[in-house]
Amino acid sequence: MRSHKDPLPHPPKRVLVAGVSGVGKTTLAGRIAALTGGPHTEIDALFHGPAWTPRPEFLADVESLVRSDSWSPEWQYDAARPLLAESADLLVWLDFPFVRVTLPRLVRRTIRRRWSREELWNGNIEAPFWTVLTDREHIVRWAIRSRRNYTAAVPGLIHDHPHLIVVRLRSQQEADGWLSGPLAGAVGAYAPD
């Protein structure tokens, strides 16, 4: 597993971003796409249909995505993770402190989205924030419950997919430094003239 300082051996074309809900996966995946030139596809947009129902085409859409030459989605959903990992050449794991960084980010984002009634995917909006008390699947409760899942999943991923380069980033400063350092260096070093 590499750190934020370690150089990349080649410019990545198929990049996954992993981490608990609210850590900043989607934002980082978009920034990676801007540097690598590959599109960012938000996995939540493929998964969620109207009224938060799973889209029946989800796995077919993921299969189509992985056949592309380059991409940078989030590494989410148990059914999609193996397909994504098999085709990826890099996984970036955002492993920020949960209580101090990720949970406050998630709460602020959830409240902002609800307050503004921001449309997320296929007409869906965040549920009222008070439902955190009544809905076991509320995004905040989900994040609290699943916050340690990556600690086991990422080492297992390395074992099952030895071709995959994994970079673990432990703070926003490390993420920013990695983008402007090792990632930009790898992309720039191999850019065509």
CB-based burial label for 4 (10 Å; 0-12, 13-18, 19+): buried
Contacts 24+ apart (CB under 8 A), 3-6: 3/167, 3/168, 3/174, 4/167, 4/169, 4/170, 4/174, 4/175, 4/177, 4/178, 4/181, 4/182, 5/177, 5/181, 5/182, 6/167, 6/182
* Structural class in CATH, domain 15-98+149-189: alpha beta
Tell whether the model's pLDDT for residue 56 goes beyond 70: yes
- Entry pTM: 0.93
Kindly report, residue by residue over 125-177, the tens digit of the pLDDT: 999 989 999 999 999 999 999 999 999 899 989 999 999 999 999 999 999 99
**Which one is predicted more confidently, 188 or 61?**
61
Q: Where are the domains of the chain?
A: 15-98+149-189
Distance (Å, whole) CA 134 – CA 99: 21
